[in-house]
Chains A and B, each alone.
Chain A
Amino acid sequence: MRWSSGLVRRAAKAIALLVVAGLPAAADTAFVTCQNGDALSVFDLTSSAETARWSVPGKPAGVAVSKDGAVFTVSPDSKTVRRYDRAGTVQAETVLDGGPIGIAHDMARGRVFVSDWYNARIWALSDDTLAPITELTTGAAPAGLSLSDDGRFLASADRDADQVSVFDAGTLALLHRVKVGTRPFGLRFASDGRLFVGNVGSNDLSILDPATGSILATVPVGERPYGVAFAAGRAFVTNQYEDTVSVIDMQTLREETRIEVGEYPEGIDATADGTRIVVANWFDNTATIIDAQTLSVSQVLDTCDGPRAFGVFLLGGEE
């Protein structure tokens, strides 16, 4: 019977939650790149304490954190990409001649991708040594990069071409060039496979099917949507010029509400358990933590100077 499977699943989930609640909480860690401060703030999201502050020269903005504990940063001023371990030790470092900005890690295939803002391409690097593997051609000014959860697709937001490039993440072949709204900058794949793209020029989200390259919907949000993250059946979008986060219902694609955060909200990510959203507020030097269920602000943390956190910056605890 159908009803029972739902019930069983819900009951199992409730038991799992109880078990988790009874154990020491699995610690999520936030790695927040601070561009103006040449630094990275590390937060333990269980205690909400800043547990470390790394020196990251060259004005870091882009970040990609992996389940294996690798932390990649991109410093566009010095054109430097670094791989750190979670304790802050530099494991590899490389200088890329161009304008490195966005970054995404394909852990399964041992590759890391970096967009080149000035030269309409993506560098594919080996994820351990950061040695170059190959280059992919994009439209003008590629910024945000994202890898789909199932590892099939890599996408870039080509800001000055008003398009998204979708690649086969395995073969690295170009699959689609899709016209989206005006000046797409940040983008991310949802766990259901859809690609959400923030268009800073037209103040909306383009939602794509990466397999067909078709636009599924265009959803208006606030002023200058910058980053997208997902939790609790919702998409959360930072509205950079409005100091808010738009909350979109993933089913109806309607905006449920807007949450006030700090000034110039930029990087946004969800905890591994999907209960919380973390937002970096660039002007305020803070990070806002939002309860993904109640949609209330639960905490505001002080960060290093100029937090961007442009990319995946949360690492889930041990499971």
Chain B
Amino acid sequence: MKRREFMAMTAVALMLPGLAAAHGPTRQKITLTTEVAADPAEVWQAIGNFQDMGWHPAVFSTTGEGGNEIDATRVLTLGEEGGPTISEILYKYSDEKMSYSYRITEVAVEVLPVTNYSSHLTVKPLDGGGSEVEWRGAFYRGYPNNDPPENLNDEAAIAAVSGVYQAGLDALVERFGAPGS
């Protein structure tokens, strides 16, 4: 992010009373899916560990506590050592369903312009072999009050989360191949 842009958003954040408490008027949701050639067990082995988000190209490192138990936590460092971080907590986990659900507990809106974010990552079998990976998110925009600036509005939130999911899913296709390829 450009320094000036970062400063501008920090200024916006400082002007808002109760930034952490309130949220925007409309919760957003997105679902992105992709299909890969590997079978579900193999894909789940790669992405089903809450303590290892290393399969996502934007994640530099994952540190956390509690393994895959409910209320386990992790901190994702993005990009490089000392890069921006996202703190998350696990609230559902099922090896059987190959699915886990987590929430963001702390992220600067300059890093990801959302609040009250929750997400599910699921691997499902495809008919005829291979897997479908589904990533779903629910969140409010980064700006909690009326009349948001463009970089913190609903569209910006959707675009940012979609970008994160797409990059992760694309990396899985690259790693496991597309079905029938």
Contacts and interface: CB of A to CB of B under 8 A. Distances in A.
B22 interface: yes
A101 interface: yes
Nearest to A160: B21
A160 B144 CA distance: 13
Contacts of B103: 241
A77 B26 contact: yes
B91 to A, nearest CB: 7
Nearest to B144: A118
A141 B138 CA distance: 21
Contacts of A283: 29, 136, 138
B25 A117 contact: yes
A244 B25 CA distance: 24
A113 interface: no
Interface residues of B, number: 15
Contacts of A76: 25-26
A36 B28 contact: yes
Interface string A150-180: 0000000001100000000000000000000
A264 interface: yes
Contacts of B22: 117-118, 141, 160
B146 interface: yes
B85 to A, nearest CB: 23
B25 A140 contact: no
A141 B21 CA distance: 9
Given A118-B146, A283-B136, A223 B91 contact: yes
Interface string B22-62: 10011111000000000000000000000000000000000
Interface of B: 18, 21-22, 25-29, 91, 103, 118, 136, 138, 145-146
18 contacts: A35-B27, A36-B26, A36-B29, A59-B25, A59-B26, A61-B25, A76-B26, A99-B25, A99-B145, A99-B146, A141-B21, A141-B22, A159-B21, A160-B21, A241-B91, A264-B138, A282-B27, A283-B136
